[in-house]
Structure 1
Amino acid sequence: MSRLDSMLRRFTAQRDGLNWAAEQIAPVAGDVLDMGLGNGRTYDHLREVLPNRRVWVIDRILQCHPSCVPPEADFLQGEAEPMIHQLVEQGHKIALAHYDFGFGVKEKDVAEAARLSPIIGSVMASGGLIVSGQPLVGFEELDGPEGIAPGRYMFYRV
């Protein structure tokens, strides 16, 4: 499979997975959390499909497309752990989280996702969902929507 085909498959899985998760969380109270803003594509999609939910964003730096800059109050700049603790301390609960942190080294990315899993769990609403490009630990893994290749994206219920 070409790198272009692989990227298209990943983007399609991400979009379809987020749309599926947005429908699943309808009865769950809480905000949305995008962990890893990057170019802002996912954030832009989340605010479009969940317009009545506050969308928090965590990233080390703000370097997204100008049309995807989150409101200053919703952008938590820094390392994930203290930013998630800040949300917890302020009493926020997350109904849907998207995990997209990564260093680009698979072993390092998997270890970081495992380390952050219980911290992410501390801010999640009961019954909330996590859509992740990395395996997380301590959550109920779901099959997610049809058509997404196993291991392409992972879906978890808290």
Structure 2
Amino acid sequence: MDSSVPSRPTRTRLDGLIGRLTAQRDILDEVCPHIPADGPVIELGLGNGRTYDHLRSRLPGRRIIAFDRALAAHRSSVPPEEDLVLGEIRETTCSYAGTCAALVHADIGTGYAEIDDQTVQWLPDLVARLLCPGGMAVSGLPLDHPWLEPLPLPDSVPVGRYFVYQLRTTRRPDRTGA
């Protein structure tokens, strides 16, 4: 049995997770000081609550409203009841359109192209409608929308790994002409 370690191992799912989490942290650390002073933060995809906890530490006193299908967060990272919305994100966020959020973080990609391809059909418009002018969006999926302007990534984040946008201060008509 050969016990040598290859010099360039193939990229594993663990490598992908580490890259995603590192990108999230680096981007959030960079954008949090630059989001508008008013408006809540929206967390789409609470999951285990790690990013929620990070946002809480970077934006003390800021209201953070978290959305997810079901509660699976570590008990130390569960938002207050009034700031936790459970159910299908596409449906539960409808009543929050126009919230004027300063930041929307969307980490709802699955890693399955066929599912993520469907999500990127509705997620960009949802995010654009949640943000206030000048508000920022951070997403694991691309958000192609005329109201959202892509922003440069930190040097530590490879292009295509994660995405950052800012809502234009002057909205342009969307695809539906609204």
Tell me the TM-score normalised to structure 1 length: 0.90
Q: Does 1:79 align with 2:84?
A: no
Corresponding position of 1:37: 46
Cα distance in 2 between the residues matched to 1:97 and 1:151: 18
Cα distance in 2 between the residues matched to 1:116 and 1:133: 11
Corresponding position of 1:15: 25
Structure 2: gaps spanning 5 or more residues: 1-10, 168-178
TM-superposition CA deviations, 1:107-138 (whole Å, max 9, x none): 32133123121122112110111111011111
TM-superposition CA deviations, 1:20-46 (whole Å, max 9, x none): 110221x44211011001111011101
Q: Give yes or no for contact 1:114–1:136 (8 Å, CA) kept in 2.
A: no
The number of aligned residues is: 155
Cα distance in 2 between the residues matched to 1:59 and 1:113: 17
Cα distance in 2 between the residues matched to 1:83 and 1:125: 19
- Of structures 1 and 2, the one with the larger relative CO (CA 8 A, separation 6+) is 1
Cα distance in 2 between the residues matched to 1:29 and 1:75: 20
Q: Give yes or no for contact 2:152–2:164 (8 Å, CA) kept in 1.
A: yes
Cα distance in 2 between the residues matched to 1:22 and 1:45: 11
Cα distance in 2 between the residues matched to 1:22 and 1:150: 20
4+ residue segments displaced more than 6 Å: none
Bigger Rg, structure 1 or 2: 2
Structure 1: gaps spanning 5 or more residues: none
Root-mean-square deviation (Å): 1.6
Q: Give yes or no for contact 2:100–2:131 (8 Å, CA) kept in 1.
A: yes
Cα distance in 2 between the residues matched to 1:3 and 1:62: 24
Greater helix share, structure number: 1
